Amino acid sequence: MERQAAEEESLIGTSSPQDALEHAIKAAELYMRASREAQGTTDRSRIRGKIEEMITLAEYLKSPSTKELIQPKQDRQLTPREMVALLQSSKLNGNNFPPWRTSHADPGAFSPKAGQELYTDPTPFPLSKLQLDNFEGWKRPNDLPTALQSLSLSSNSPARWLEVLPTSDLVQDVTADCSVLLRGLMFPFDPDRKQLLNSENGKYIFRMNFNGCFRKIEIDDRLPAAKTDRALYVTDRQNPTVIWPALMEKAYLKIRGGYDFPGSNSCTDLWVLTGWVPQQIFLQRDALDLDQEWDTIVQAFKTGNVLVTLGTGRISASEEAATGLVGEHDYGILDVDSDPDRRRLLIKNPWRTGERWNELGSTTISSPPAEDGGGGGSPPAGLHDQTGTFWMSLADVSQHFESMYLNWNPALFRNRQDFHFDWDLKPRKNMSSTVVDNPQYSVTPSADGSVWVLLARHFTDEEVGLIKRRSQSVDEDARVEVGFMSIYVFEDHGKRVQKLTRDLHHGPFVDSPQTLLKFRVESGKRYTVVPVQEKLPMARCRFTLSFFSNQSLGIAPAQDAMRYSTDMSSSWTRRTAGGNSGSVNYGTNPQFSITLTRQSSLSLLLCTDSPNVPVHIDLVWAGGDRVGPSLAIKDVLADSDAYVRGCAVLDVPSVDPGTYTAVCSTFEAGQLADFAFRGSGRLRTQLTPFVFAEGESCLRAPLSIARLTRMCASVRRATIPSAHAHAHDLGPRRSSTPLKIAVVTGRGPREHVLGVSGVGKGGGHSSRETFQVDLLGDAPISAGTWEDAS
């Protein structure tokens, strides 16, 4: 029985993908029968290893990596602005990568034109200094120093060098990018036989996922040949004639700026190559519960729904020599052992030299070789018998690696919504410690469940240049910062937030172009999702925010909780830096008058770019007058709690109509800084009180504004009697003459009424009646003097 199983296994490498799958399943079934007939523990353990190997191989052959990628349904139509943004993001490294809106490529793109030579991509592909030292020239497949020239490369037919083989053993030499490369969507392609075809004119087209959508990348089939035994492109040790991975690598490096690109991380690379959702787990985080994640990862890995890779951090040369691990390098995961007593990963170093971990510093005891055919640091035979592979326990992985990278099958979700937006990354003055200008989105779920949010930064020429300069810098202190991103979620009724406080969930800050946050939602609640960045060096960048879920989500840009707001700038100077309320100089602090004409909620924001200055807001019952040096607790309506560095927020759910005084202070007197103050509500402008003179029936005053604004106007009797009132009068005399107020532009025949009030009582021509006009808007309004317009 075991001999028959071995015969089926031997046919896998020489069969088509569909036939190979059938041979793998048949071999697994025969090995299962052989296991029941086996005599002794050793034979049963050996055959059990072959069963697991055949099952893993079968999962590989039927996984999405060998067939068309499945994406969840897009739940929204893009706005015209978003469509334009995606087109603008097509320009990169002097090339145009248009969005790919079909599932196939035009066969005519691969046919030679009469009298024309083979297609040559004019794009320059820069090489690093080490690569140039080994570089001989760009050569087509027939001219490469392999067995390719002996193969038949007939047009529109499957070619051996384009076969996707289950026994691939991809290795790298001096290719700068050290990520695991998998098969993506490559053309020309035969959909019936599910095989790559040879291009007649030397052109190949790839469909890769970056800058907000799947895009089209065209390359020629020339590869960088070496004049030494070093390989300048990814190679397959077991199948040296197979070069489709090298063509895929070339297409990817065309996006990233050339062969001298220093590399990102495998999570980003696989996101581009496959469109699978990337997640980075920091293994050294104190709060990480890897045991809790392990079962989910194993289950998804066994069903082909997650790709797993690992990344080391910075390691000294002596530590590299001692452990056999390479610093700042990515490793692939070929298999996982879910046995609860072992919990191991089969790890592969993709480098050509295949350095392997030598178990120095291991916290676990290796399994005896006889038990599984591999044991300790050695992989089992067959599919896993590849260069640079070794088993490592989960405990040792968390000890020796910095990050675990996961790429999840998007087909795990039924629904997806993408939002594309530009983000001005340079904050306004004194606004660096707040998120009032950050993009924010309101999320309303239709049912309880899990939601995944992915923030992906679009690649730009500027960032590629920064990454290359950073890799070439030998001075650690002078290295260019690439910045960090994260995502915060607030249960804040879906309204915009001003500061990163009271968050429900947030992810780690990562220096990758993508970051993922998973969180659970409850039906009936609304959430606010806020992308956050720190020290991203670009002044402006484009992003895509993607929501994945199995329930429908109502998603829209979040709105301000309050309709109106106004921003003001001020400073704590030597004269005005009075310190906290316990200081004798407290009354010298900058103060602002705030008027509410009706009961309303109120939000105040105080920000400074000075990172070491704690700030605070007091809202005081003072009628808009300045607060003196002593402040009684009973006079304080609300405050922003403790002094905090950079940014203070005061939210009052309900405030009665009236005029209040806001005092902005630092903790210590004499702390000097500029600051911004924002009041959310409506800004009140009071015009000079007026009295109708004898014979006047209409007065007008000119208004001016700095920007488009909303405004409402009201007229009322002044609370202070005019100078002509008699001593016994209790106030202005009432009149039954109708009174109204209007806002107009222009004069005479060009006059246009913008708004007019209803007719009210209480006006007239009596010189003893004084009136007050109040303007309420979301921006400062200036008013001139009253003049007769009767």
Of 557, 587, 606, the residue that ends a domain is: 557
Lowest average pLDDT, out of 257-271, 534-548, 591-605, 681-695, goes to 681-695
At a CB cut-off of 8 Å and minimum separation 6, what does 585 contact? 577, 578, 579, 629, 669
CA 166 – CA 162 distance, rounded (Å):
13
Give the best-scoring range by mean pLDDT among 210-219, 617-626, 684-693.
210-219
Q: Quick one: pLDDT at residue 56?
A: 62
CA 58 – CA 241 distance, rounded (Å):
24
At a CB cut-off of 8 Å and minimum separation 6, what does 291 contact? none
Q: How do beta strands 441-445 and 553-557 pair? A: antiparallel
Prediction pTM value: 0.74
Cα pseudo-dihedral 419, 424, 425, 431, rounded to 10:
-110
Structure tokens at 293: 């994640």
Report which residue type is found at 433.
S
154: helix, strand or coil? coil
Of 21, 47, 62, the residue that ends a domain is: 62
> Per-residue confidence at 167, pLDDT binned at 50, 70, 90?
low
Question: For 69-93, how does the pLDDT look when each residue is reduced to its tens digit (9 = 90+)?
Answer: 567 878 788 887 888 899 899 999 9
CATH number of the domain bearing residue 337: 3.90.70.10
Among the options 349, 409, 430, 589, which is catalytic? 349
Question: For 254-274, how does the pLDDT look when each residue is reduced to its tens digit (9 = 90+)?
Answer: 999 999 888 778 999 999 998
Cβ atoms of 583 and 643 within 8 Å: the answer is no
Residue 215 has pLDDT above 90, yes or no: yes
Q: Are residues 244 and 115 in the same domain?
A: yes
- Number of domains present in the structure of the chain: 6
Q: How far is CA 702 from CA 756, 771, 777, in A?
A: 16, 17, 16
Q: Are residues 506 and 623 in the same domain?
A: no
Q: Are residues 246 and 287 in the same domain?
A: no
User: What is the chain's mean pLDDT, rounded?
Assistant: 81
At a CB cut-off of 8 Å and minimum separation 6, what does 452 contact? 277, 413, 516, 517, 518, 547, 548, 549
Q: Are residues 766 and 625 in the same domain?
A: no
> In angstroms, how far apart are the furthest CA atoms of the chain?
121
Residue of higher predicted confidence among 471 and 184: 471
Q: Mean pLDDT throughout 439-459?
A: 96
Per cent of the chain over pLDDT 70 is 81
Q: How far is CA 51 from CA 35, 42, 44, 46, 402, in A?
A: 9, 14, 10, 9, 33
Active site residue 349: yes
CA 222 – CA 144 distance, rounded (Å):
9
Residue 324 has pLDDT above 90, yes or no: no
Active site residue 329: yes
CA 259 – CA 226 distance, rounded (Å):
14
Question: For 22-75, how does the pLDDT look when each residue is reduced to its tens digit (9 = 90+)?
Answer: 887 888 888 888 888 877 777 777 787 777 767 766 654 554 433 345 678 787
Q: Are residues 516 and 549 in the same domain?
A: yes
CA 354 – CA 475 distance, rounded (Å):
29
Nearest-5° Cα angle at 270, 268 to 273: 115
Q: Quick one: pLDDT at residue 354?
A: 55
What is the b/e burial string over 366-388, where b = at least 16 CB atoms within 10 angstroms of the residue's CB? Answer: bbeeeebbbeebbbbebbbebbb
Residue of higher predicted confidence among 245 and 150: 245
CATH number of the domain bearing residue 31: 1.20.58
Q: Quick one: pLDDT at residue 720?
A: 44
Q: How many other CB atoms are found less than 10 A from the CB of residue 553?
A: 21
Question: For 700-733, how does the pLDDT look when each residue is reduced to its tens digit (9 = 90+)?
Answer: 999 888 767 767 787 877 654 333 323 333 233 3
Assess if residue 270 is contained within a domain. Answer: no
Q: Quick one: pLDDT at residue 544?
A: 97
Q: Are residues 256 and 339 in the same domain?
A: no
Locate tokens 């690649």: which residue?
459
Of 386, 408, 430, the residue that ends a domain is: 408
Q: Quick one: pLDDT at residue 362?
A: 66
Q: Are residues 100 and 219 in the same domain?
A: yes
Cβ atoms of 566 and 678 within 8 Å: the answer is yes
Q: Are residues 646 and 690 in the same domain?
A: no
At a CB cut-off of 8 Å and minimum separation 6, what does 446 contact? 523, 551, 552, 553, 554
644: helix, strand or coil? strand
Residue 753 has pLDDT above 80, yes or no: yes
Question: For 382-437, how does the pLDDT look when each residue is reduced to its tens digit (9 = 90+)?
Answer: 444 556 788 999 989 988 899 999 999 998 999 999 999 999 998 889 998 999 99
Assess if residue 624 is contained within a domain. Answer: yes
Among the options 134, 178, 209, 213, which is catalytic? 178
Q: Are residues 350 and 366 in the same domain?
A: yes
Nearest to 125 by CA among 254, 262, 223: 254
Q: Quick one: pLDDT at residue 404?
A: 94
Assess if residue 239 is contained within a domain. Answer: yes
Per cent of the chain over pLDDT 90 is 35
At a CB cut-off of 8 Å and minimum separation 6, what does 421 contact? 82, 85, 439, 542, 543, 545
Q: What domain range includes position 733?
A: 685-788
Phi–psi pair at 148, nearest 5 degrees: -65, -40
CATH number of the domain bearing residue 601: 2.60.120.380
CA 188 – CA 162 distance, rounded (Å):
10
Residue of higher predicted confidence among 614 and 292: 614
Residue 688 has pLDDT above 70, yes or no: yes
Residue of higher predicted confidence among 14 and 711: 711
Question: For 482-521, how does the pLDDT look when each residue is reduced to its tens digit (9 = 90+)?
Answer: 789 999 999 878 999 999 877 778 888 999 999 999 999 9
Residue 735 has pLDDT above 50, yes or no: no
Q: Are residues 507 and 533 in the same domain?
A: yes
Question: For 334-389, how does the pLDDT look when each residue is reduced to its tens digit (9 = 90+)?
Answer: 899 888 778 899 998 876 555 677 776 666 544 443 344 343 444 444 444 556 78
Assess if residue 73 is contained within a domain. Answer: no
Assess if residue 466 is contained within a domain. Answer: yes
Q: Are residues 527 and 620 in the same domain?
A: no
Locate tokens 């040369």: which residue?
317
Assess if residue 76 is contained within a domain. Answer: no
CA 544 – CA 524 distance, rounded (Å):
26
Q: Are residues 246 and 354 in the same domain?
A: no
Q: Mean pLDDT throughout 728-754?
A: 67
Question: For 765-779, how does the pLDDT look when each residue is reduced to its tens digit (9 = 90+)?
Answer: 455 678 888 776 656
Structure tokens at 645: 């560095």
Q: Quick one: pLDDT at residue 422?
A: 95
Q: Quick one: pLDDT at residue 74?
A: 80
Report which residue type is found at 414.
R
Assess if residue 69 is contained within a domain. Answer: no
Among the options 23, 329, 400, 616, which is catalytic? 329
* Helix intervals (H) in 458-537: 461-472
Assess if residue 537 is contained within a domain. Answer: yes
Helices 41-62 and 17-37 meet at what angle, rounded to 10? 160
Sign, CA torsion 364/365/368/374: positive
